[in-house]
Structure 1
Amino acid sequence: MKQFINFSVLVTSAMFAHYSYALPDDINKPLEVQADEAQFDQNSGEAIYKGNVFVKQGSIEIHAEYLKISTDANTRKFSSLEATGTPAKFSQQIDWSGNIVISKGNEIHYSTSESKLEIFGKGFLSRMQNSITADYILYMIQDGTFSAEKKDSGRVTMTLQPQAPESKPAPEAKK
């Protein structure tokens, strides 16, 4: 059974692989955060936001009840965001055509330095009309690959849309 799940993830990754994976300049945009409460420790570079949290960075959007942002002390760049909620949500435009990846779960960990998104508990990820549901989903944003597994309960469920057939040129009419 595990081989089937691994094969399914491989097939899904291949279906996603021919698309762009994220807008290249999102990570260089300012991080805008709104919340009911905020705390910031300049020494540790850690910020905590509580209550109706909304984050925007370029095309990236995060909605959560609680958010912890860690900053690299040397570079002063954001290194990770940890969001929790019922559910916490993450979305990002993945190409210039306006296609979006949407994910949600009880916890979302976004590592900006590794371009990695981890979804814990009641995880869901949707991309280009394909979707996956699992207890745990690891999504590598830059290369568009992911893995999913059962951690506590339930199973990995995937919905894959058939790939559109390549269009063939119309036959020329005989004269």
Structure 2
Amino acid sequence: MKQLINISALLAGLIISQHALALPDDLSKPLTIQSNEAFLDQKTGIATYKGDVFVKQGSIEIQAQFLKVTTDPKTRKFSKLVATGKPAKFSQQIDWNGNMMISRGEQINYEVTSSTLDISGNAYLNRMDDKITADHILYHIDTGTFNAKKQGSGRVSMTLQPADDKKEK
């Protein structure tokens, strides 16, 4: 059964990945963070934000109740953002046509260097009207592929839209 779920996720990922995957200049934009509280330790490169956190970087937007940002103190490059909330939300424009990838979960780990989203706790991902729900979703932004799984009882649920023949001609 678990193998069937992984194969289904792989097939869905292949169907989804035939589209553009993300805007290339998002990570070159400044990271703007708003919150009710903020703490920064410049020696460790770790910053925490609490209360109505809103993040914007290019087309990327994150909403959460708590956010931890890890930055390399020497290069000042962001390497990881961990957002938690009920739910935490992450969205990004995935192509120049304005199509979006929207996700939510109780915790979202955004690994900047590997371009992955690790969504857990009532995880949800909507990409170009294809929808996936599971307890845990690991989404690879650069390739548009994912691995979704339920923990305990339950199932992974996917809704995949058929290809639009009109758009492909």
- Mark yes or no: TM-score above 0.5: yes
Q: TM-score, normalised by structure 2?
A: 0.95
Shift of 1:76: 1.2
Deviations for 1:5-24, whole angstroms, at most 9, x for unmatched residues? 12211221111111110000
Give the letter aligned to residue 81 of structure 1. Answer: L
In 2 relative to 1, CA 167–78 (structure 1 residues): closer, same or farther, beyond 3 Å? Answer: closer
Q: Does 1:57 align with 2:57?
A: yes
Distance 2:62 2:151 in 1: 24
Distance 2:45 2:167 in 1: 53
Long gaps (5+) in structure 2: none
- Give the secondary structure class of the aligned counterpart of 1:87: strand
Aligned counterpart, 2:46: 46
Aligned counterpart, 2:109: 109
* Contact map agreement 1:72 1:79 (CA 8 A) in 2: yes
Shift of 1:41: 0.4
Long gaps (5+) in structure 1: 170-175
Superposition pairs for residues 1-175 of structure 1, below 5 Å? 1-165=1-165
* Contact map agreement 1:135 1:152 (CA 8 A) in 2: no
Which of 1 and 2 has higher RCO (CA within 8 Å, sep 6+)?
2
Higher Cα Rg: structure 1 or 2? 1
Shift of 1:164: 2.0
Q: TM-score, normalised by structure 1?
A: 0.92
Deviations for 1:53-98, whole angstroms, at most 9, x for unmatched residues? 0000000000000000000133210000000000000000000000
- Give the secondary structure class of the aligned counterpart of 2:155: coil
In 2 relative to 1, CA 101–34 (structure 1 residues): closer, same or farther, beyond 3 Å? Answer: same
Distance 1:56 1:29 in 2: 9
Deviations for 1:25-49, whole angstroms, at most 9, x for unmatched residues? 1011100000000000011010000
* Contact map agreement 2:42 2:73 (CA 8 A) in 1: no
* Contact map agreement 1:135 1:153 (CA 8 A) in 2: no
RMSD value, Cα: 1.6
The sequence identity of aligned pairs, in percent, is 56
- Give the secondary structure class of the aligned counterpart of 1:96: coil
- Give the secondary structure class of the aligned counterpart of 2:163: coil
In 2 relative to 1, CA 96–125 (structure 1 residues): closer, same or farther, beyond 3 Å? Answer: same
- Give the secondary structure class of the aligned counterpart of 1:66: strand
In 2 relative to 1, CA 40–14 (structure 1 residues): closer, same or farther, beyond 3 Å? Answer: same
Shift of 1:153: 4.5
Distance 1:73 1:160 in 2: 42
